[in-house]
Amino acid sequence: MTGRFRRALRSFRKELQDSPGSRSRSRSLDSSPRGRGRTGSNSDEADDQVDDEIVPLENDERRIDYDDANSIIGGHSVKDENNNEKQTFWFSLPFSNPLAGIDLPSFRLRSIFRSETDPVDPFKLTVLDSRQEEEEFRHVREQDNSRLRAVRHSLLPNLSIDMLNPLATPKDEFPAIDGDVVILGGYRGSILRDRETGRRVWIPIKVGLNLRRIDLTVGITDQDEIEMEKKVYPDGMLTHIGPVDVSRKLIRKLQSSPKCNVHEFSYDWRLSCSLSSQKLVEFLKAIQEKQKTKRKIIVIAHSMGGLIAHHAMQKHPELFRGLIYAGVPSSCPNILGPLRYGDSVLLSSKVLTAKVNFLMRSSFVFLPLDGRCFVDRKDTTIRYDLDFFDVKTWIEYGLSPCVAESLDVRRTQTNSYQEEAPPTQKRFISEMPKLPTRARSQTFTLPDNEMIPYDDAVEYLDRTLKKTKQFLMELEYDPAKADQYPPLVELYGFTVPTLRGSRVNGPEGIKAGDYNDLVFGPGDGVVYHKSLMPEGKGFEPVLRQPSDRGHVNLLNDVDGVGKALNAILQAEKEKLNRNSNDLTT
């Protein structure tokens, strides 16, 4: 570890310790998932070995403060220059932007015995209509800090009274799986490495501390996307993020079954989900080829990984023994924030700019096909549905600065989210190079501070929206395959206020980017409970398993996953019995 990085860490810890209420709470920084079957080391020490030089990012003179410490586990708040806090859509995932002004919580005794929320009846929530949900959640003004929630569950899991009784026999209903199980993460859920250097590009701590520059840009052409694997390769799931357990505990539990073979499927989550689906199919076929008896495979998928797994299942249902959807959205309008204003990673606001998110093909898979997102601020029965898969909509409503007709607005596409966050009454314009002449990208990226030529951006967006819509249409239930589909199970959160839309001042409010009046409903903090897969595509799961966990660590609910696996095994057994009875009659 270099001296400069050590000094940055010491500064970080000192600031954390000097902050109010932070005594005895500082913990070591570790964003290095470790697991079986990885081709490279995931440790920060290994990352240091290939760093010849650490270059501090320019124009970033702010000191690391207590709010930045909170950003390690995420959250969101945006403040304008007048210190007026604004809320905007945010994709609440690991390594998102900081939650300013929120102290690390103190753990209360009640959280040892129960969830931090009051008991909620999941059935009651499913029968609420939109107006009733709005009334139920009218007091909620901001999105849930799902990473903070994940840390609580990781550091202090819920305990029952029986667990505190030394005479009680612990019940373990987790099934002993005989066969292969594949687990895959979601958006931002796989480690990415530079193929030439082996250096981690998603997500090394140094980037979060503004000590190293990386470029996650995907080139604008289809060929750029196809050739991306020559430059960057996936190197395992993010099984944990510091103290936040994403799937490590589950993997260890599965591995404790002697006849269970656990495989992690990692992928470049920036690329088209259709490409990742093809790679998953190849991955599953390769597993089957190594089997003595060609058995089907249980797949456990989190978030966007569930869309990829579902698409693969649609194409090749014969490969799937069962599929568990953990917090998988059929749509998630939160993505509109990063697409318009960019995102922030740990302490760095320069990595996931609006341009970078715009060029990630996977970003568009979360757009709602039904166009529902905005309602009138004064009368919420009035909806402003948009065709998010029509490039003209993006140009008219300014949903991305990359396709804005105004040159001044286009110049903001490489700004950090702090520079471009709402309100949009005043446009924040950074110094940019001259608009380049129209030319095709000859490399896999554009320079960090280079705008995408307008015509190229429009053509790219039109092409990407059409491909993404086709992918989403291919997720729909096919009656002709009804007998081929494997047992499907939903694992979902329902106790966390979750964004489902925004109140705006008419169409002009959408154009102005005034998304700050948010509408909430029950969910896991990211995925609204009425936008879940596979029900959102017409499928009937054999079990809908509720969980009190937030989106980030749904797979950490080992008991919930165990019940999901039991449901798959039971459905499998019932199908065998039916087939046996059919043969005897």
Instruction: Please write the tens of the pLDDT for every residue from 407-419.
Output: 778 777 766 544 4
Q: Flag whether pLDDT at 399 surpasses 70.
A: yes
519: in domain: yes
Q: Are 400 and 458 in contact (CB under 8 A)?
A: no
Residue 27, phi then psi, degrees to nearest 5: -135, 155
> Picking from 17-26, 387-396, 466-475, which range would have the lowest pLDDT averaged per residue?
17-26
584: in domain: no
357: confidence class by pLDDT, cuts 50, 70, 90: very high
Rounded to whole angstroms, the Cα distance separating 85 from 79 reads 4
Q: Flag whether pLDDT at 57 surpasses 90.
A: no
168: in domain: no
The tokens describing 373, both together, are 């997102």
Structure confidence by residue, pLDDT tens digits, 565-574 = 999 999 999 9
For residues 387-397, average pLDDT: 97
167: in domain: no
pTM of the model: 0.75
Q: How many independent structural domains does the chain possess?
A: 1
563: in domain: no
* Structural domain boundaries enclosing 405: 1-102+119-158+180-433+448-556
492: confidence class by pLDDT, cuts 50, 70, 90: very high
For residues 64-78, average pLDDT: 31
4: in domain: yes
The tokens describing 137, both together, are 């959640």
pLDDT of the residue at 225: 96
Structure confidence by residue, pLDDT tens digits, 177-188 = 999 999 999 998
pLDDT of the residue at 2: 54
Q: Flag whether pLDDT at 344 surpasses 90.
A: no
> Picking from 363-367, 438-442, 533-537, which range would have the lowest pLDDT averaged per residue?
438-442
Which amino acid, one-letter code, is at 61? E
573: in domain: no
Which amino acid, one-letter code, is at 408? D
Structure confidence by residue, pLDDT tens digits, 233-263 = 999 998 987 777 889 999 999 999 999 999 9
User: Which distant-in-sequence residues (6+ apart) come within 8 Å of 291 by Cβ?
Assistant: 180
44: in domain: yes
> Picking from 59-63, 97-101, 226-230, 281-285, which range would have the lowest pLDDT averaged per residue?
97-101
Could you give the percent of the chain with pLDDT greater than 70?
62
Rounded to whole angstroms, the Cα distance separating 554 from 535 reads 18
How does 69-92 read in b/e, with b if 16+ C-beta sit within 10 Å? bbbbbbbbbbebeeeeeebbbbbb
> Picking from 42-46, 197-201, 477-481, which range would have the lowest pLDDT averaged per residue?
42-46
